[in-house]
Amino acid sequence: MNSMSRILLLLSLALLAWAQAPLRAAPRPNVLFIAVDDLRPELGCYGKSHVKSPHIDRLAARGTLFLRAYCQQAVCSPSRTSLMTGLRPDTTKVYDLETHFRDTIPQAVTLAQQFKENGYFCTGMGKIFHSGKNDPASWSEPHRENVGGALYALPENQKLIQEKRRAAMEKGLKGPAVSRVARGPATEMADVPDEAYSDGALAAHAVKTLERLKEQGQPFFLAVGFQRPHLPFNAPKRYWDLYDREKVGLAANPYLPKNAPPMAGTNWGELRQYHGIPAQGDLTEAQARELRHGYYASTSFTDANIGKLMEELDRLKLAENTVIVLWGDHGWKLGEHAGWCKHTNFELDAHAPLIVAAPGAKGRGKPSRALVEFVDIYPTLCDLAGLPKPAGLEGTSLAPLLENPDREWKRAAFNQYPRGRTMGYSMKTDTHRLTLWVDTRADNKVVATELYDHQKDPEENENVADKAEYAGVLERLKAWHQGGWKGALPEAAR
């Protein structure tokens, strides 16, 4: 055999061995899971150029921005519980801030827990579940809600809170009751470094954690929960300086919708707990402007902290194998509908930001108008990581929308909010929002109805449920509502 024949034989044997060898599995993607408290979709990437959010906007440009994403209940614990379990509030039975899902559905497997049980190193910091309602089963190492920094940076505000706490304890108050009455001002502007506040310290800790996780070499699920722009609106001065208070607009509709039932609105008791806010009645125009200014400053502060995580991902060369999810746990009112805070079924409260950036997704950089829900996040991440999905999840994987953001999707998204013995079940469609208020102690008898025409009235300023010209629309939407979330699924997912 001549030399050329031997070379050809060796090449043939090498190619045969390569073809018969098992294919090397692609590395499983990491997950960077970013939660933001009380963040409404008033951001540059949502077309709101008056808000300075360059880092979130950059993330939207490299992923899929969901223009119409909805939480399941517009308050922290129920929303986060629903997202983290993939189950709706009527399944978790978590409707308030006190109930822990391990007491109502103890066998539930959370999103982080599913990753942990399938080979991921799962670590969380900041506010992921509701404050004080952490779930040890979800994490590979103890979750750290507080990693440094302060809620208030100014000494005079720190002193005020200490004096209030002392007075409350002298009256015999304990635990959460003390916290409720020992609140500082609703805003603070301090000329301090970012790390002086708790969210700035959290971002610094998350950056260090990313470096540690890369060195470990194990696929990771890193959850980082920022609290701003939740009250109090405290942020370093540099972020307040991004906005001119005189140019900060006020709510265009500071009144309840015409014909709305009494249970539709709130008395915004959350805000009223803060020092200087009246216990009853309206705010002054100066107070309203200060709060809106503070909300925007806090939003830009969180945007900067998110930017630090993005920059570190790029520096560590982790971005191309990391799925990034950014979500705000619900919306927020800034004076609209005679209210502040959340706690309603209005579009302002149920509609929240959602961005999913998945490496290699064909639809990257193109926003989606599909109606999606926070229960969809759990199955989506399982699909993107190639993990099995636990039985009983009540959402639909958004993975197909990451490939084609324009594809046909759900016909409706669902949320709810309780008012004592009355539960408001709300459904957002492409053109309307329908809310049925039912008496939970009287066989769910409908006691009030709201219908908003989003084509003519996107701000929901008039309830048209009793108007004769909407009778046909109302009956059609009630039938959809009766079909529930399963009836709203795309045909392929039923």
Residues marked active site are found at 76, 130
Q: Are 44 and 52 in contact (CB under 8 A)?
A: yes
Question: How remote is the C-alpha of 456 from its chain's centroid?
Answer: 28
| 481: Cβ contacts below 8 Å, ≥ 6 apart | 425, 427, 434, 436
Q: Please list, in sequence order, all residues whose beta carbon lies within 8 angstroms of the beta carbon of residue 492, skipping any fewer than 6 positions away.
A: none
Which residues lie below 8 Å from residue 307, measured CB to CB, with a gap of 6+? 54, 55, 58
**CA geometry: angle at 148 spanning 54 and 217, to 5°?**
70
Q: Quick one: how far is CA 465 from the chain centroid?
A: 30
Count of beta carbons in the 10 Å neighbourhood of residue 478: 16
- The phi, psi pair for 144, rounded to 5°, reads -115, 110
The closest alpha carbon to 152, from 76, 236, 224, 226, belongs to 236
Where residue 306 falls (left for φ over 0; alpha for ψ -120 to 50; beta otherwise) is: alpha
Distance CA 360, CA 26 (A): 13
Give CA separation, 18 vs 4, 10, 206, 275, in Å.
Answer: 21, 12, 41, 71
CA distances 217 to 28, 332, 360, 387, Å, are 11, 39, 21, 19
The number of beta carbons lying within 10 Å of the beta carbon of residue 432 is 21
Peptide bond into 232 cis (omega under 30): yes
> In whole angstroms, how far apart are CA 247 and each of 51, 155, 244?
12, 30, 5
**Is it true that the peptide bond before 27 is cis, omega within 30 degrees of 0?**
no
